[in-house]
Structure formats: structure tokens, C-alpha cells
A and B are shown apart, each in its own frame.
Chain A
Amino acid sequence: MITRQRLAVGACALFAALAAGIAVPAGAVADETTALAPKVNLLLDVSGSMRAKDIDGQSRMAAAKQAFNEVLDATPEEVQLGIRTLGANYPGDDRKEGCKDTAQLYPVGPLDRTEAKTAVATLTPTGWTPIGPALLKAADDLDGGEGTKRIVLISDGEDTCAPLDPCEVAREIAAKGIGLTIDTLGLVPNTKMRQQLSCIAEATGGTYTSVEHTDELADKVNQLVVRAADPVVTPVAVEGAAGCTNAPAVKSGLYTDREEFGQQRWYKVEVQPGQEVRASVSVSADRAVNPDYGVLLRAVTVHGREIVRGEGNGTGRTDVISTGLRYAKAEADDDDDAEKPAAETVCLQVTNSFSAASGVAATPGLPLELTVDVVDGPSQASDVASFGLGRGWWLLGALVLVGFLTGVLWGWISRWRVAVWRTN
């Protein structure tokens, strides 16, 4: 049956594709693919410290250039790649000027490998390390489109433009809900830099990597660019309410929201009799949180009665804590008022028990991801065992014994009947 369905889908899809090919001008099709194209912005630190010759005997800049050349060669066709620099142009000592120094080297768009390589070759280590401002600009570069967006930050020093904390900047960018991930790479890092770069990465669900060798750099950047090309479901932004009555209604799908420490988020789902609602929720730790935490998801009726709950908790370093629940609404009984379309509204309440040391920003809230699936309900079990069938030596023994005894009994009865007949 599944095969047949697939065939049908395939046939329809083919037909639709053909029809679209005829009906829609080529430009529109191209627009659609660009809208969904994954975008990657490589953000390269070209500050003065990149002159240091400590990566495989060559300078950090040379290593970065070599890696970029390899990456540009290997970039998948569908990825729109851009390059932005920080600290590439202003050599002076004025901190204010130096902290504005970020420039787009190659615009995000379809990649012309030769052009991009030529642009990279011109770079010379120059100025400051304004990571925060550069991240903001890099996020602007990626604006628009529905595809995955990724910034790859390659740096060899911590931000020199305090008080604008790049980690806060990253969190703000993530909170805009444009689904952007920042991956960071630290060249020959020290402790402070590790902390800062991994903080930036964690704030957006990205990864941090320390790089000591040229080939590591090329491999990692390549891996990240290729990863951007993988299609990922884009969640729908939704804002949960503080109570059930004005909670937003959600259907099957993937949603994203923000939830502050100790905040409640409510959503509503409609369930028909005979249907099952499955909900899972994950709350991400995008900042430094205390190492003991939890999440609670409750399904509650509109009158406030709890139907079922899911709990998750943990300890230790984590990116996310998640839980889920399912609730199957029983088929409507016939003697019930059959005329009412008895779709039940189920309220979903999400709370988290993350906590943070004082000084950690409470807003924007922690990223929350909600998956809802409304499917047909399960067939209920009428017995513990499958179809009530038996299994094992005890079953065989019992059956044989009962069979034997019944045979003996039957034999006696028939002997007795024969005896009675003979007497008569």
C-alpha cells in the first residue's frame, strides 16, 4: 500500500513539475531556488595578530588563505557563499575607528570561485578585532531567503572592542528568529578566547573548534559549508501565552519560541476523537546556566485538569533539555451526543527549571522548540499479550494436561454410555 502511495505521489509530483515547467517562466523558478538556497558567510579575522607564524611554520594569515582556497574549490554548487573581513583596513591606533573596521570582501550570492580567490589573496593582516560589530554586519549580509544561514567566524584573538560583548550580540542575532547558526574557529587559542568563541557558538547552537594546523582549518570550514547545504526543516515562530485561554493554536509542525527562566508558555492543540497528539519540546541552554536543570511539558484540559505530562531533567554541561508526551483521545461513544463535532482543545504548558548565576542576561529567553504531530490514535490493547496468545512451556504443559484429562473424561463417559446401552 505504501509503495502504491509513493508511486501516486511520484506521478503527481512529476506531473506537477511538468505543469510548473510549462506554466511558470524560468525566472520564477530560479527565484524560488534562490529563496531556499543555503547561505554561508565566512567571517575572517585579518587583525594584526594574524601575522604570527605559528601554524605549521607559516603565518596564520597564510594558513587561512590556503584553507580558503581549498574551501572555495569544494563549496557545493547550491551554497551561496560570502566573505566578510574584520580588522582588514584600519591600521591606526584609534580604538573607535578600529572597532568599526569590517568590510564585505565578497558578497553573499552565487559563487565565482576565481573572483573570490583573487579577493582573498589581497588580504594583509592589519587592524583590530571587532568581532561584535562584524557579527551584526555579517548577519545583515545573510538577510532574506528561507534557506539555512550560517556564519563561520575564524579568529585568532578575543574581541578588542568591549563593552559590546560578542556573545550578547550572537544571542541577539539568534533571538531575531532568522534561524542563523554561528560556528567559530579559534586559531592557536588561549583560554579567554576559547571561552568567548565557544560562548558565541553556544548562543546560536553552533560549534567551536580550536585549530592548530592548516589542514584542520580547511577540513573544518569545508565540513561546515557542506553541512549548511543539508536541507533542514525551518521552524515556524510562535509566541506562547501566559495562560491557556489566549494561547496560540498550533497544528502539526515544528515551532520555535523563547522562554525566560521560570516563565510559562502555553499553546493549544485541537484533537478529534480517535486521534493522538504527540508533542515534544526542547529548551536550549544558549548561555551559561547552572548545571542542574529540567523541563516540564503538561497536557491540560481547558478546565485545568492535567491529562498527561512529560518531564525531563539532567545534570552537567548541556545544549538542550527535552521531553515529550502523547495523548490519544478515545473514540467517541455512540451514546454520547453524536452530533457535536467533539474536537477537544488540549492546552500544552511548557516550563523550564534552568537557572543562572546573577549577571547572566535573562532576556531574550532561552530558545524553545516545539514539535506537534496529530496522528490517528493507537489501537488499544485488550490483553497484555499480542492477540491474547500464549507462549512458553507452562502453556504447553497446561494444554497437554487439560487435553489429556478431557480425553480420559470423554472416554469414561462413552464407556458408561456403552455400558448403559448393553444393560438395556
Chain B
Amino acid sequence: MRAFTSQLARGTRVLGSAVLMLGLAAVPAVADETPSPSPSDGGSAPTSAGTSFRTATEIDQGEQATASGSAGDYLYWSFPADAGQRPTVKATVKLPDTHASEAWQLDVYDGLRRRQACQYGAQTRTAGPGTASVELACTLRTVRAWSEQWANDPLPGTYYVRLTAVNLPTSDLGLPVEAELRVDSKDIGGSAAVDGSLAEPLVPGIAVKSEDSEQSENSEDTEDSSTTTAVLSSIEPDGGWSSGWWSDRWVWTAIGGALAALAGVGGYALTRGSGRPRQGPPGV
């Protein structure tokens, strides 16, 4: 790219204008280059939560999930997060009228069940006696398309949310509670666009799933595995996982190239101002 840019900057007019055209053509794309996560379209939001990683209730981003449970339950949900998104998980726990002091906590785990750090948000809160509800929040780090295998950066894939009371007196065990959970994400865009990508998103059981589909493609006598067999996680964002090649870096670089070409032309014209011979030979 750098070689390309300097080539342009040499002031070759034809190429320069071509790049200019390209840059202009790319400009409309700037407007829609950050597709915000669309809220769930009409589908009924889940009204229960799972009790383990394996049984976590799958929710979409922008969906208000509710669940009724008991104090002491471990409530699990899972949601998809794609590269360039910075998800924020918000949970509200409605407590019964009379209860003792309870500490509630929201934990987010990635597709490898590694706990993910929260940048902001009250992840743990203690509800004193008489408090009607607790609000918890957790903003994750931006999900990257790739990271080194020794890092635990957030990667595209399934994310698990666990909501539970971490400190609970025995007298409060089993009291009815209502929980609400919502995941929204901010699109960070090109500044978070990194090179490299995973072959498959970090969705647990994805290897088993693709094996199954290969099998049923190859041999016809396998039973209908796609509908009856349970999968660990069948989660996918609304528009499918992003391929990861597009980012607004293309637009920035293209515009930069075009501007460099213009500046090159400008600089060239400056030097030819007064000193240019009137009857110069053509073609120089």
C-alpha cells in the first residue's frame, strides 16, 4: 500500500484521477460502514434462563430477556458478539419485599468459558435489606477479529452471562426473584479492525456441528441430525458472522491516496507557475 501511495504521489495524472474516482466512490460507503446492531425483530424474547453453561438460554443482542428464579440460582444466558463490537450487558434483579443483605454479581465468559474483564459497570452490588432491585452492568472490551493464542482478548463468538448472588444468607435461599437482562453493543468500527481472523468463531461445539453437516452431506443414511441433536451453542448474529475483510480503514486509506495525488498535482503546478516557457515543446 505504501508503495502504491508513493507511486500515486509521483503525480501521474491519469492514475491520480482514477484513484480520486475510487475515493469518491468509496465515500457513500462511509455512511453505512458501521451497521449498528439491529434490535430483535418482533421475535418473542426468552422468559427463562439456563442453569449452567450447557443449558444457557440463547438471546440476541438488543433483546430484553426475562427470567424468574430463586435467590441462590445461577442464571445463565448466552449471546453472540462479533468483531468490532463492544458489548454491554445490563441486568436488573427484582428482589422480594423482605430480604437480608445480598450481594449480586454479573460475570461474562467467552466461548472458551474464560472470564472476561469488564471495562466499566457495577459488576457486583450489594442490596441492603429492603432494597427492591439491584442493577448490574458490565461493558466488555472490544471484540477483535484475531488475537494471539496466549492472550485472552475477546474474540467473535458466543458469550455467556452468569447472574447470581455471591453472598447470600441462608434465610434468603430460595426466595423468588425476577431477573431482566439486555445486551447491547457499540460498534467501534475501523479503529478496532485488526489483521488476521479465526477460521471459525469461538462457538463451543462448532467442530462437532460442522462434522455432522459434512457427514450428512457425504452419506445419506445418517439420521436427521440437524433438528433432533442438541448442540452446545447454535448462536449466530442476525446477519451471520462478519467475514472481517471490510473496515473503514479502506475508505481512510483511499481518501488519503486521493488527497496525496491532489496535493502532488498542486505541488507540481506550483513549480510551473511563472517560469513555464510559453512555447515549450509538447510532450514534456
Bound pair (A, B): yes
User: How far is A191 from B168 in the complex, measured between Cα atoms in Å?
Assistant: 13
Interface size class of A (residues with CB under 8 A): 35 or more
Residue contact A280 to B112, C-beta cutoff 8 Å: yes
Is B14 in the interface zone, CB < 8 Å from A? no
Is B42 in the interface zone, CB < 8 Å from A? no
* Stretch in contact with the other chain, from A46-54, A131-139, A203-211, A344-352: A203-211
Residue contact A410 to B10, C-beta cutoff 8 Å: yes
Is B196 in the interface zone, CB < 8 Å from A? yes
Is B78 in the interface zone, CB < 8 Å from A? no
User: How far is A233 from B8 in the complex, measured between Cα atoms in Å?
Assistant: 58
Is B27 in the interface zone, CB < 8 Å from A? no
Chain A: minimal CB distance from B56 (Å): 10
User: How far is A223 from B205 in the complex, measured between Cα atoms in Å?
Assistant: 27
Residue contact B260 to A399, C-beta cutoff 8 Å: yes
Residue contact A411 to B195, C-beta cutoff 8 Å: no
Secondary structure of the A contact surface, majority rule: mixed
Given contacts A389-B250, A396-B256, A406-B11, whether A414 and B208 have CB atoms under 8 Å apart is no
Is B131 in the interface zone, CB < 8 Å from A? no
Residue contact A282 to B53, C-beta cutoff 8 Å: yes
User: How far is A324 from B202 in the complex, measured between Cα atoms in Å?
Assistant: 11
Chain B interfacial residues counted at CB < 8 A: 110
Residue contact A276 to B199, C-beta cutoff 8 Å: yes
Is A95 in the interface zone, CB < 8 Å from B? no
Contacts of B232 in A (CB 8 A): 233, 254, 371
B205-255 contacts to A, CB under 8 A, are 205-208, 210-211, 213, 216-217, 220-232, 240, 244-245, 247-250, 252-253, 255
The 0/1 profile, CB within 8 Å of B marked 1, for residues 211-240 of chain A is: 000001001100100110011111100000
Residue contact A379 to B199, C-beta cutoff 8 Å: yes
User: How far is A394 from B154 in the complex, measured between Cα atoms in Å?
Assistant: 28
Is B122 in the interface zone, CB < 8 Å from A? no
Is A164 in the interface zone, CB < 8 Å from B? no
User: How far is A354 from B194 in the complex, measured between Cα atoms in Å?
Assistant: 38
Chain A: minimal CB distance from B228 (Å): 7
User: How far is A408 from B260 in the complex, measured between Cα atoms in Å?
Assistant: 12
Given contacts A378-B146, A385-B194, A415-B275, whether A405 and B267 have CB atoms under 8 Å apart is yes
Residue of A nearest to B160 (CB): A322
Partner of A400, one of B70, B195, B259: B259
User: How far is A220 from B54 in the complex, measured between Cα atoms in Å?
Assistant: 21
The 0/1 profile, CB within 8 Å of B marked 1, for residues 378-389 of chain A is: 111111111111
Total of A-B residue pairs, C-beta within 8 Å: 329
Is A189 in the interface zone, CB < 8 Å from B? yes
B157-173 contacts to A, CB under 8 A, are 164-168, 170-171, 173
Query: Which one of A207, A369, A382 has the greatest number of beta carbons of chain B within 10 Å?
Result: A207
Residue contact B173 to A407, C-beta cutoff 8 Å: no
Chain B: minimal CB distance from A20 (Å): 7
* Stretch in contact with the other chain, from A10-18, A61-69, A105-113, A333-341: A10-18
Residue contact B259 to A210, C-beta cutoff 8 Å: no
Given contacts A327-B149, A411-B272, whether A403 and B115 have CB atoms under 8 Å apart is no
Contacts of A252 in B (CB 8 A): 205, 207-208, 211
Chain B: minimal CB distance from A308 (Å): 6
Contacts of B231 in A (CB 8 A): 233
User: How far is A275 from B271 in the complex, measured between Cα atoms in Å?
Assistant: 58
Residue contact A317 to B112, C-beta cutoff 8 Å: no
Chain A: minimal CB distance from B267 (Å): 3
Residue contact A386 to B113, C-beta cutoff 8 Å: no
Residue contact B253 to A389, C-beta cutoff 8 Å: yes
B35-60 contacts to A, CB under 8 A, are 48, 51-55
Is B137 in the interface zone, CB < 8 Å from A? no
Is A401 in the interface zone, CB < 8 Å from B? yes
Chain B: minimal CB distance from A35 (Å): 11
A-B contact list, 22 entries, CB within 8 Å: A5-B217, A16-B220, A16-B222, A16-B224, A17-B224, A191-B171, A197-B174, A198-B173, A198-B174, A227-B51, A278-B202, A382-B196, A385-B195, A387-B195, A389-B1, A389-B247, A390-B1, A391-B248, A400-B260, A406-B11, A408-B270, A411-B269
